[in-house]
Amino acid sequence: VLIDNIVEGGGLEQGAAYWIGNAMIHTGEGPQTIAEKVARGEIDITRLPAGNMEEIEAKIQEISLETVNKIKSNREERDQLIDTLGEGKQPYIYVIVATGNIYEDIVQAQAAARQGADIIAVIRTTGQSLLDYVPYGATTEGFGGTYATQENFRLMRAALDEVGEEVGRYIRLCNYCSGLCMPEIAAMGALERLDMMLNDALYGLLFRDINMQRTLVDQYFSRVINGYAGIIINTGEDNYLTTDDAVEAAHTVLASQFINEQFALKAGLPEEQMGLGHAFEMDPNLENGFLYELAQAQMAREIFPNAPLKYMPPTKFMTGNIFKGHIQNALFNLAAVTTGQSIQLLGMLTEAIHTPHLQDRYLSIENAQYIFNNARDLGDEITFKEDGIMQNRAQTVLKDAEELLNQIADEGLFQTIEQGKFGGVKRQRTGGKGLNGVVKKGQNYFNPFIPLMLGGNR
């Protein structure tokens, strides 16, 4: 409502901070009260008399510092809890809950933590990434997932803290800041001490048809917030392999990892918070397919030695045969522990049948724990044959990725996406959702959080 009022008054190019700061000086009220008065039609925010720019900035700086300090204390609290409680060994065991009802999610998340999960991700309800606002309050209905709201974040964080004390290790909470509200959801996560966020520079524009200019602007600010909050981002390269062939398109995954890394560095996000994504998605009927998967997992680990790599399970070739599926997941787990992956999104034996039940998660966690423990140091004990199948596979993928990156450097990222080079999906630079929210900065535009979060207050 507040932003709509700014748009109606033709003031969007100055940004929200300018208008809110001006209204604070004029009315003597805080941002919440001002927003409520705008909603009731008592204030037309762009028609208030213009105040002194220095005073406006000082007023906004004051309240911005309070928020930044709250986020900083959350980060310190997380570090303290990890020091006190400890945490699971890597690869961290990552599972998903997605009932639609936050209270049911809490029951399932706590059960998963007791079974051995280290990270709980609460998938968002279908289509939330296309909403240009964030719903409010605790929610009990969703489709294929649960609404991401600040209250839902708070409830789940408290529940995982409680079960973490019980099991004697810190349980991380993950949600999703992709779509039309990347910075908003990143901010909510930072305020409620989430630990991980799905946050890809290209995912929204490729797979949700969010306008590419909007996505690249939003991913920057969302990553500034995540970087400051100590939140590990997870990128979405695994999605390319669901729409494209995992053997032929492997180089696009690596190229995207390099792109995501550079966008993250520009936003002040350190390597230790870059959960660059890749996936175990080759056709199980491919001869020597496991060697190719192992080669690519090892390649990713060697190229990004400091990144907490996020490894995604087989889904595309899961048929509903639970016995074969369990074996596919076992090979995936073996590849992960051998190559030193960091974040392991567990595959479910009932993939392609239904949303996981409690017992499905239990069996998948047991599978991972057995293999991670039984083959803990396997990777340190083996070397790869010179000029063998695996070394040659890694070299081919790296060479093809370099060629694609050179092409992007020559033609530009937007043009490469228009040609469908990532995931076989073509998008236009003026197409998709959210372009009307992209405007050139006006002379009074300022964002107080970027200098505070990128500056010496980290």
Residue 91: the pLDDT is 99
Distance CA 408, CA 444 (A): 34
pLDDT for 413: 94
What per-residue string of b and e applies to 307-318 under the rule 16 or more CB within 10 Å gives b? bbbbbbbbbbbb
State residue 396's pLDDT score: 98
> Model pTM?
0.96
Does residue 421 belong to any structural domain of this protein?
A: no
380 is catalytic: no
Nearest to 343 by CA among 314, 367, 313, 378: 313
C-alpha to C-alpha distance for 135 and 213, rounded to whole angstroms? 24
Order across the sheet with 119-122: list the strands.
274-275, 232-234, 196-198, 172-176, 119-122, 92-97, 343-345, 310-312, 277-279
Question: Does residue 191 come out as left (phi exceeding 0), alpha (psi in the -120 to 50 range) or beta?
Answer: alpha
State the residue for tokens 């530009």: 412
The alpha carbon dihedral of 397, 271, 182, 281 has a sign of: positive
What does the angle CA 194 – CA 199 – CA 203 come to, to the nearest 5 degrees?
150
| Integer-rounded Cα radius of gyration of the chain | 23
Burial environment of residue 181 by CB neighbours within 10 A (0 to 12, 13 to 18, 19 or more): buried
**For the chain, how many structural domains are there in total?**
1
Q: Where are the beta strands (DSSP E) in 319-374?
A: 343-345
Q: How many helices (H) and strands (E) does the chain have?
A: 18, 9
Query: Pick the catalytic residue: 118, 195, 218, 238?
Result: 238
> Does any domain span residue 56?
no
CA distances from 77 to 74, 180, 193, 429 (A): 5, 30, 9, 42
On whether residue 405 sits in a domain, the answer given is no
In a domain, 432, yes or no: no
Q: Is the sign of the CA dihedral 99, 101, 107, 112 positive or negative?
A: positive
* Angle subtended by helix axes 250-266 and 212-229, to nearest 10: 60
**pLDDT attached to residue 261:** 98
Tens-level pLDDT at each residue, the chain (458 residues)? 999 999 999 999 999 999 999 999 999 999 999 999 999 999 999 999 999 999 999 999 999 999 999 999 999 999 999 999 999 999 999 999 989 999 999 999 999 999 999 999 999 999 999 999 999 999 999 999 999 999 999 999 999 999 999 999 999 999 999 999 999 999 999 999 999 999 998 999 999 999 999 999 999 999 999 999 999 999 999 999 988 999 999 999 999 999 999 999 999 999 999 999 999 999 999 999 999 999 999 999 999 999 999 999 999 999 999 999 999 999 999 999 999 999 999 999 999 999 899 999 999 999 999 999 999 999 999 999 999 999 999 999 999 999 999 999 999 999 999 999 998 999 999 999 999 999 999 999 999 999 999 964 54
* Closest C-alpha to 393, from 296, 281, 254: 296
Distance of alpha carbon 304 from alpha carbon 257, whole angstroms? 9
Amino acid symbol at 402:
E
Q: Which helix (H) or strand (E) holds 233?
A: strand 232-234
Token digits for 244? 């494209």
Q: What is the pLDDT at residue 263?
A: 96
User: What residues contact residue 298 under an 8 Å CB cut-off, 6+ apart?
Assistant: 338, 339, 384, 390, 394
pLDDT for the residue 355 = 84
Q: Residue type for 73, please?
A: S
Catalytic residue among 18, 203, 220, 311: 203
Q: Which of 59, 72, 310, 433 is catalytic?
A: 310
**Would you call 433 a catalytic residue per the annotation?**
no
**Rounded Cα–Cα distance for residues 7 and 353 (Å):** 46
The answer to whether 211 and 271 are in contact (CB under 8 A) is: no
pLDDT at residue number 92: 99
Q: Is residue 97 part of a domain?
A: yes
User: Is residue 364 situated within a structural domain?
Assistant: yes
- Domain containing 381: what range? 74-390
User: What residue has token string 């190019």?
Assistant: 13
Q: How far is CA 366 from the centre of its chain?
A: 26
Q: Could you tell me if residue 101 is left (phi over 0), alpha (psi between -120 and 50 degrees) or otherwise beta?
A: beta
How far apart are the two ends of the chain, measured CA to CA in Å? 32
**Known catalytic residue at 310:** yes
Q: Looking at residue 330, which CATH number applies to its domain? A: 3.20.20.440
Distance CA 68, CA 453 (A): 7
Is 382 a member of any domain?
yes
131 inside domain: yes
- pLDDT at site 149: 98
